[in-house]
Amino acid sequence: MKYKIGFSLKELLLIIVITAITTSLTTGVIMYNNNKLSNGAVDINKDEPLKEFLKVYASLGDNYYEDIDKTAMIDSAIKGMLDYLGEDYSTYLDQSETSVLNNQLKGTYEGIGISIINNNQIHKVYDDTPASKVGLAVGDIILSVNGTNALDETPITSLIKKNEENTLIIQRGEEQLTIKVTPETINTPLTREVKEYNGKRIGYVYLPSFNNTAATEFRKSIEELESENIESLIIDLRYNSGGYLSATTDIASMFLEKGQKIYSLETKEKVESFYDDTKEQRNYKIVVLINEASASASEVLSAALKESYGATLVGGVSYGKGKVQTTKSLDDGSMVKYTTAKWYTPTGECIDGFGIYPDYSIELPDPDDENFVDTQLNKALEILGN
């Protein structure tokens, strides 16, 4: 029996494209963000290589025949140090790239808390947001925003002004209403819904990244689904390229029994294992969807749920990212990101360069096919619905 995904193909592809763009810089598990350049002082008098570097820097500044942009020269030197490491995941991010990464990992945005279909119809009103507080409802058609017609091709989001009250004229059935709403900083919500298969209620959550609010929003999602009496859960990690290790740990701990291993880290000095230390646990069946773009933090969670919880993995072989990065913010707004550890699955496997193999390898058809069916999701529903 085939079961089509609950979202339209256009909605699914939009989610995937946005996720691919915004997470392209975050492929890697980020252990923490430290704004200090160094954890310890450097003794210039004893560090001979640094003394040689400073001699060259001073000589060029004093004697080069043209003016030098010292900031740009130091940026090039930093890039050179990271290039020397010869490792793809240790990189320098300029101010623009750093801003993109930081914004994506914040997990928040300025808005009123709605999603739109057909350009101006409210498809979803998220809980505890400005939209929900002023009474906007699913199905409302937004006719104008601050006097500007909202029925043309202009995106609604571009018409809503930040940091001030907005006046919306909406059509609700036969009635026109005027609603005033002011945007706020709100957590980026997750896609979630209940799916019916063979009379069973199966929860579905799509997690696009492990940002600062991922664990909070994930908890909110599963608790809402559980209040709707789900019997099992699908966690969709396809196209999730990573993020904060702490978010991964928090989400895994919602399911595992206290004392179960989540992952291990191997640094230059030691190997350390990390376990669930919470009393919280769940015992319903879980299927995790993965593919070739599920990387690092996604792989940490997938492995933990498979090996320490008993979840089933469906989809394609994951990316194969078994290293952990630390970020250091620089005073000029740029950042360096470099590898500080390898991580291992609960059973001690290093998946770097290999990826995680699903229990059920299912090929996904061409999304451009007008008869597209999400075969990977269908398999997950079949597993949980039988």
| DSSP of 197-220 | ETTEEEEEEE---B-TTHHHHHHH
Domains of the chain (ranges; CATH) run 9-32+188-385 (3.90.226.10), 42-96 (no CATH), 109-186 (2.30.42.10)
- Residue keyed to tokens 């490491």: 85
DSSP 8-state class, residue 161: P
Report residue 133: phi and psi, to 5°. Answer: -70, -30
Report, in this order, helix, strand and coil percent for the chain, each rounded to 5: 30, 30, 40
Intra-chain end-to-end CA distance of the chain, in Å: 11
| The pLDDT of residue 13 | 44
CA distance 340 to 347: 21
% of the chain exceeding 90 in pLDDT: 63
Ranges of the chain with pLDDT below 70? 1-28, 31-42, 153
Amino acid identity for residue 193 in this structure? E
Query: pLDDT digit string (tens) for 21-62?
Result: 444 444 467 765 544 344 455 677 788 888 888 899 899 989
Return the pLDDT at 330. Answer: 87
As a whole number of angstroms, the distance between CA 273 and CA 271 comes to 7
What's residue 32's pLDDT?
53
pLDDT digits (tens, 9 = 90+) for 301-317: 999 999 999 999 999 99
* Torsion angle of the four alpha carbons 304, 305, 306, 307, in this order, in degrees rounded to the nearest 10: 40
**Mean residue pLDDT across the chain:** 88
